[in-house]
Amino acid sequence: MSDTRVRTTVNGTWGWGRLVWDAARGRGVDATRGPVGEAIVVLAVPMVLEMVLESVFAVVDIFFVSRRGADAMTAVGLTESMMALIYTVAIGLSIGVTAVVARRTGEGDAEGASRAAGQAILLGLGTALVLAVFAAPNADALLRLMGASESVIDIGGAYTTIMLGGNAVILLLFLMNAAFRGAGDAVIAMRVLWLANAINIVLDPLLIFGIGPFPELGVTGAAIATNIGRGTAVLVQLWLMLRGAGRIHVLARHLRVVPEVMGRVIRLSATGTLQTFIGTASYVGLVRIVAEFGSEAVAGYTIAIRIVLFALLPAWGLANAAATMVGQSLGAGDADRAERSVWLAGRMNLAFLGSVGVFFVIAAPLIVGWFGGGGDTGDHAVTALRIISLGFVFYSYGMVLTSSFNGAGDTWTPTVLNLFCFWLWEIPLAWLLSFEAGLGPTGVFVAITVAFSTLAVVSAVMFRRGRWKTIAV
């Protein structure tokens, strides 16, 4: 059987199911040899579950905190807006770590992969210290800057301080999981998030409401529970790395700054951070345009985007798997395998996101209703969800191609593409369609779909040119 297809020992649905089950249980795979499709599935399944689990933290906190009133909810919401910057940094830094570790792993350089992981830990600690020193002492001022009332600050000031001050657990969790993914140990990254979420889910109600012997800490308890959960996961990550439980074995000598390796990780990570920021910030510009058409339009847009993001999370797992495949295959000197991996992952993502997109178009009113959308808000949400979902067919490939550039160490190409597609094309187009063409907020929704499609097409053209195959990492 051609290795561009998924090889299973059992034909049909049972074969696929068995492969997925083995992947979730932690079946290992050598990404540099054997059937390409099988390797992608084994890597992607735990990465998909990891992405879904990462989103659970905020959902769990909001679920329990909502019982403490509007001010508590506002504090969490405003803090999450500030934490978005930290997540942007964490995701950006992770891009560089995954690229370097995957390349060293593909080369068979276990020492180099461990050294890169050690530099990632040091980079995470250093970045977290800087962020904590500047942000945590100014938590109340930052909340005021975000428009919080004094009652919100009284209730949520400690929550914000703890979350900003404890940003190290976020950065380290992301960076060490990036190293595990780059090495092909995606199931370890998934399992530590299981642990973190389990602890958070148990501690949240105990510390927020003061159940049993636990003190009633209100919204502050949510911050403590989240940081204990993530902090425990980080300790487990460190323990696994230090004992060499997976493909990475970090020793004391790896926890000293190696200028050459640190510089390489920082160079790739800085571009990755800029890339992530460009994509995130574009949504701010779109919200600003939608806001011109009233609160109902903004609320509808917000509901639609939340639904879309939940759908995209599993797709990012497949994209991350493609990045690991590319990095390791290039390290093994097999650029052809890297390229075939990307196109196959793109087809898999198309099958998933295309199906989801069709479902969203058909069932948009029902889905929006689940999220509480009604009246004009619901109408805007349904329109947005249907139009944006049309871009899933293209964006399924765009996500995989963008991640593949990053996995190859070519972080500048997707950064430039994001800048063009989302800032220089999407936002001006949204303004023109909304105001000049008279489409109102619908113009913004159309612009998003057009931008998704443009990103996919231009990425495919750049990918076929093959410059990414020559990038030194």
For residue 382 the two structure tokens come to: 């349904």
Q: Is the dihedral of CA 388, 390, 396, 397 positive or negative?
A: negative
Of the listed ranges 39-43, 61-65, 298-302, the least confidently predicted one is: 61-65
pLDDT band at 2; cut points 50, 70, 90: very low
Residue 296, CA distances (Å) to 126, 338, 379, 456 in order: 43, 46, 9, 31
Q: Is residue 17 part of a domain?
A: no
Of the listed ranges 10-24, 248-262, 267-281, 415-429, the least confidently predicted one is: 10-24
* Domain termination residue (choose one: 257, 292, 320): 257
Query: Alpha-carbon distance 358 to 380, whole Å?
Result: 18
Same domain, 252 and 309: no
CA atoms within 13 A on the CB side of 158: 11
Same domain, 112 and 195: yes
Residue 454 burial (CB < 10 Å; 0-12/13-18/19+)? buried
Helical H segments across 107-218, by residue range: 110-135, 139-145, 150-165, 167-183, 186-209
Same domain, 225 and 371: no
* Domain termination residue (choose one: 257, 292, 327): 257
What percentage of the chain carries pLDDT values higher than 70? Answer: 91
Same domain, 253 and 291: no
Same domain, 104 and 198: yes
DSSP 267-289: HHHHHHHHHHHHHHHHHHHHHHH
Same domain, 238 and 306: no
Q: What's the first-to-final CA gap in the chain, in angstroms?
A: 33
pLDDT band at 19; cut points 50, 70, 90: low
Query: Alpha-carbon distance 448 to 430, whole Å?
Result: 8
| 289 touches 430 (CB < 8 A) | yes
Angle 459-465-466 from CA coordinates, rounded to 5° = 100
| 330 touches 340 (CB < 8 A) | no
Same domain, 250 and 306: no
Query: Alpha-carbon distance 461 to 425, whole Å?
Result: 18
Q: Average pLDDT in the 178-187 region?
A: 88
| 171 touches 181 (CB < 8 A) | no
pLDDT for residue 236 is more than 90: yes
- Closest listed residue to residue 181, CA positions, set 365, 327, 335: 327
Same domain, 142 and 219: yes
Q: Is residue 28 part of a domain?
A: no
Q: Is residue 20 part of a domain?
A: no
Residues in contact with 186: Cβ distance below 8 Å, sequence separation at least 6, in sequence order: 43, 44, 45, 46, 47, 50, 180, 320, 321, 324
Tens of pLDDT, residue by residue over 215-234, are 999 989 999 999 999 999 99
Q: Average pLDDT in the 36-51 region?
A: 79
Q: Is residue 242 part of a domain?
A: yes
Same domain, 111 and 224: yes
pTM: 0.84
Same domain, 305 and 167: no
Helical H segments across 332-407, by residue range: 335-370, 375-389, 392-407
pLDDT for residue 448 is more than 90: yes
Q: Average pLDDT in the 420-435 region?
A: 94
pLDDT in the model for residue 189: 86
Query: Alpha-carbon distance 2 to 10, whole Å?
Result: 16
Q: Is residue 336 part of a domain?
A: yes
For residue 419 the two structure tokens come to: 């800048």
Q: What total number of domains does the chain contain?
A: 2
Same domain, 236 and 285: no
Q: Is residue 11 part of a domain?
A: no
* Identity of the highest mean pLDDT range in 46-50, 53-57, 97-101: 97-101
DSSP symbol at 34: S
pLDDT band at 30; cut points 50, 70, 90: low
Place of tokens 């000197």: 333
pLDDT in the model for residue 38: 78
Query: Alpha-carbon distance 414 to 78, whole Å?
Result: 30
Tens of pLDDT, residue by residue over 377-420, are 889 889 999 999 999 989 899 999 999 999 999 999 999 999 99
Residue 152 vs residue 274, higher pLDDT: 274
pLDDT in the model for residue 9: 41
Same domain, 52 and 201: yes
What's the mean per-residue pLDDT of the chain?
A: 87
Query: Alpha-carbon distance 193 to 197, whole Å?
Result: 6
Q: Is residue 124 part of a domain?
A: yes
Q: Is residue 45 part of a domain?
A: yes
Structural domain range at position 219? 34-257
